Structure 1
Amino acid sequence: MPERNQAALDFLLTRRSRPAKTLQGPAPDRDALREILTAAARTPDHGKLEPWRFVVLEERALRRIGQDIRTIGADRGVDPEKIEKAALAFDLSPLAVVVIEAPKPTDKFPLIEQTYSAGAVCLSLLNAALAAGWGANWLSGWPSHDAPEMFGTKPGERIAGIIHIGTERAAPPERPRPDLDAITDWVSE
């Protein structure tokens, strides 16, 4: 039998994202965040391509983005309720890390595998923040798809996710989990 890491397994079996609206300061400082980013960067990346990068948004940048969302949303005719909901996430957040999918040209690995790697970095970042004791939530939303340039994307890049990190104000209630029997097929032959 392989050696079991019960603490890690217990964490994964009970992990729970924290709604972004329940997060407040303080947020991890740069040293604490570097540890979380280091853990996230250990994600499988298919041939050491590292087809992703991080943009860390601190408080002043978050507030600017909240205002940018309002301006861009109004200019593009986005529903005012959707604008305000998206902007509020940045108005209230003490820290956010934007995971940018930055695909690398290669014939060795399909582009979709680089996309999967960027998604895996998002989950690893989320789990690392939670394991370090912070509250964290993975969000995206219309601004990350319709106006990714406000988050620092370059041509050919797109946003895989935005991980908001801070101190949890209130523990969320448990939610229903998938019925494993309904989503699992066992193939023996």
Structure 2
Amino acid sequence: MQALDLLLNRSSQPRLQDPAPTGESLDNIMQAALRAPDHMSLKPWRFIVCQGKGLKRLGEVFELAAINTDMSEKDIERASQLPLRAPMLIVAICHHKEHDKVPWIEQVASTACAVHAMQMAAVAQGFSGIWRTGSYAQNEEVKKALNVAEQDEIMGFLYLGSPVTQPLPKPVPDPSQFFEFWSE
């Protein structure tokens, strides 16, 4: 797949199935994350790859968090199933490192670039994915279970697998709505 085609046709796929990336494909995805823009080479990220029993373990974390934060019965029942929506899920964590030249927000942006790079690397190899956040990304119980420090952020959950359906065409936005030019 050509890089420009990949970027211009980026689309999330919420319905994913086996197989998930493995071997060289998974290594390429991880290496793509580690090539994200990174001021001062701080590597302000940490990733947890969940598959198989790891997905169930994360589901248990979500369920316990739902119970301990008094979520609705429906949310509690659904919590353990959320990670099972794909055969692989990568938890992306911005692991902030104190640095006088690299503020917290820049480290968050770097981690976000790493997540985007992983999704694009997956698509380039014939897989698909969707980057989700939701209430569990901000849940203190989840953060505690995943050893996320107070100054760190769960950037989201990257679900990866093979697409169930082909993506529908997306409308092409008008760049003039978002870009202005200062030419003179």
TM-score by length of 2: 0.88
Q: Measure how far apart 1:155 and its partner are.
A: 4.8
Partner of 1:167: 162
Give 1:118 deviation, angstroms. 0.8
Describe the shift of the 1:178–1:79 C-alpha distance in structure 2 as closer, same or farther (beyond 3 A). Answer: farther
Shift of 1:71: 2.8
Contact 1:55–1:152 at 8 Å: present in 2 too? no
Cα separation, partners in 2 of 1:187 and 1:83, compared to 1, 3 Å: farther
CA contact 2:25–2:122 (8 Å) conserved in 1 = no
SS state of the match for residue 47, structure 1? Answer: helix
CA distance in 2, matches of 1:13, 1:46: 26
Shift of 1:9: 1.0
Correspondence for 1:55? 48
CA-CA distance at 1:16 after TM superposition = 1.4
Superposed counterparts of 1:27-176, under 5 Å: 27-83=20-76, 87-146=80-139, 147-176=142-171
Give the secondary structure class of the aligned counterpart of 1:106.
Answer: coil
Native 8 Å contact 2:66 2:79 kept in 1: no
For structure 1, which segment, 75-84 or 127-136, has the greater mean C-alpha deviation from structure 2 after superposition? 75-84
Residue identity over aligned pairs, in percent, reads 32
CA offsets per residue over residues 104-163 of structure 1, 9 Å max, x none? 111122221111101111111111111111011111111121122333424532211211
Q: Structure 1: which amino acid aligns with 2:27? A: R
**Do 1:98 and 1:151's aligned partners in 2 also have CA atoms closer than 8 Å?**
no
What letter corresponds to residue 43 of structure 1 in structure 2? Answer: A
Structure 2: tracts of 5 or more residues without a match: none
Q: Deviations over 1:30-66 (max 9, x none)?
A: 4421111101210110011111121111121111222
Residue 8 (1) aligns with residue 20 (2): no
* Distance in structure 1 (CA, Å) of the matches to 2:168 and 2:93: 31
Task: Give the superposed CA RMSD.
Answer: 2.0
Q: Which residue of 2 aligns with 1:188?
A: 183
Distance 1:177 1:96 in 2: 29
After superposing the two structures, state which structure 1 stretch, 143-152 or 116-125, moved more: 143-152
2:19 match? 26
1:153 and 1:34 mapped to 2: Cα distance?
Answer: 24
| Number of residues of Structure 1 aligned to a counterpart in Structure 2 | 182
